């Protein structure tokens, strides 16, 4: 099977006028229908699951996603994509919204590679007018971090779900293989578990969510009713 060019490579082709965006979409549809002629590909607004599936299928190189409790990372894990949850306030949320859950929920994407995710984050990261707070400035473009020697890292690894849910064996194996690879690369890997009061954590999480339900009351001066 011929490898599909990455998003940045396709963007360069469009920029140089060698191909149009419409031609890329048509080529993606043809590729999917070759894999399964029964598929009826429709380009439309999609929910999170459909966007992730479209990226995994190669219809698009990346797809918008946001993450509060795993809505970038979990679909990426299930579909073999790269899913990064950026630090809070790295991507602006527009002046009218500003913040979601005190930074718990963030905006980014699922992508087919780490380089594409980094290039997108370079294009979208802030700060921007209206941000209630902002993340520290980056040292260099994120795309330059891909493949750069980070030096020796101290990495904590855990396969314990905070909710107590059972970990799928494939996920367990993938984490163990990744930890072994990091050790082989010379990094310090420590197997440990977060220590915290689970009850207080869940209570605080619920309180944070409920606090977002409040809305200011507006009174009609003519009817004097809320």
Give residue-wise pLDDT tens across range 92-116.
987 777 787 778 889 999 999 999 9
Residue 70 domain-assigned (yes or no): no
User: 188 near 210, Cβ under 8 Å?
Assistant: no
Tens of pLDDT, residues 194-207: 887 878 877 887 88
Residue 207 domain-assigned (yes or no): no
What's the average model confidence in pLDDT over 142-167?
A: 91
Given pLDDT bands bounded at 50, 70 and 90, which one contains residue 61? Answer: confident
Residue 117 domain-assigned (yes or no): no
Residue 173 domain-assigned (yes or no): yes
Given pLDDT bands bounded at 50, 70 and 90, which one contains residue 1? Answer: very low
Rounded mean pLDDT of the chain?
82
Does the global pTM surpass 0.85? no
pLDDT for the residue numbered 40: 53
Question: Structural domain tally of the chain?
Answer: 1
User: 110 near 51, Cβ under 8 Å?
Assistant: yes
User: 119 near 7, Cβ under 8 Å?
Assistant: yes
Residue 172 domain-assigned (yes or no): yes
Residue 165 domain-assigned (yes or no): yes
Given pLDDT bands bounded at 50, 70 and 90, which one contains residue 192? Answer: very high
Residue 164 domain-assigned (yes or no): yes
Residue 41 domain-assigned (yes or no): no
Given pLDDT bands bounded at 50, 70 and 90, which one contains residue 185? Answer: very high
- Look up the domain containing 187 and give its range: 151-194
């Amino acid at each position: 099977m011929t490898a599909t060019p990455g998003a940045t490579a396709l963007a360069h082709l469009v920029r140089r006028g060698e191909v149009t965006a419409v031609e890329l979409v048509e080529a993606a549809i043809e590729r999917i229908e070759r894999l399964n002629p029964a598929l009826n590909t429709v380009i439309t607004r999609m929910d999170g699951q459909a966007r992730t599936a479209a990226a995994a299928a190669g219809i698009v190189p990346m797809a918008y996603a946001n993450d509060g409790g795993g809505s970038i990372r979990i679909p990426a894990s299930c579909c073999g994509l790269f899913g990064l949850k950026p630090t809070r306030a790295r991507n602006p949320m527009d002046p009218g919204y500003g913040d979601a859950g005190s930074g718990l929920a963030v905006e980014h994407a699922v992508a087919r590679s780490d380089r594409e995710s980094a290039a997108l984050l370079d294009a979208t990261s802030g700060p921007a007018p209206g941000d209630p707070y902002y993340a520290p400035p980056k040292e260099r473009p994120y795309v330059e971090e891909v493949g750069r020697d980070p030096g020796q890292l101290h990495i904590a690894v855990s396969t314990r779900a905070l909710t107590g849910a059972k970990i799928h064996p494939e996920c367990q194996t993938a984490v163990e293989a990744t930890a072994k690879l990091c050790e082989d690369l010379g990094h310090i890997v420590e197997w440990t578990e977060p220590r915290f009061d689970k009850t207080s954590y869940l209570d605080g999480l619920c309180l944070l969510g409920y606090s977002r339900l409040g809305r200011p009351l507006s009174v009609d001066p003519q009817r004097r009713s809320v």
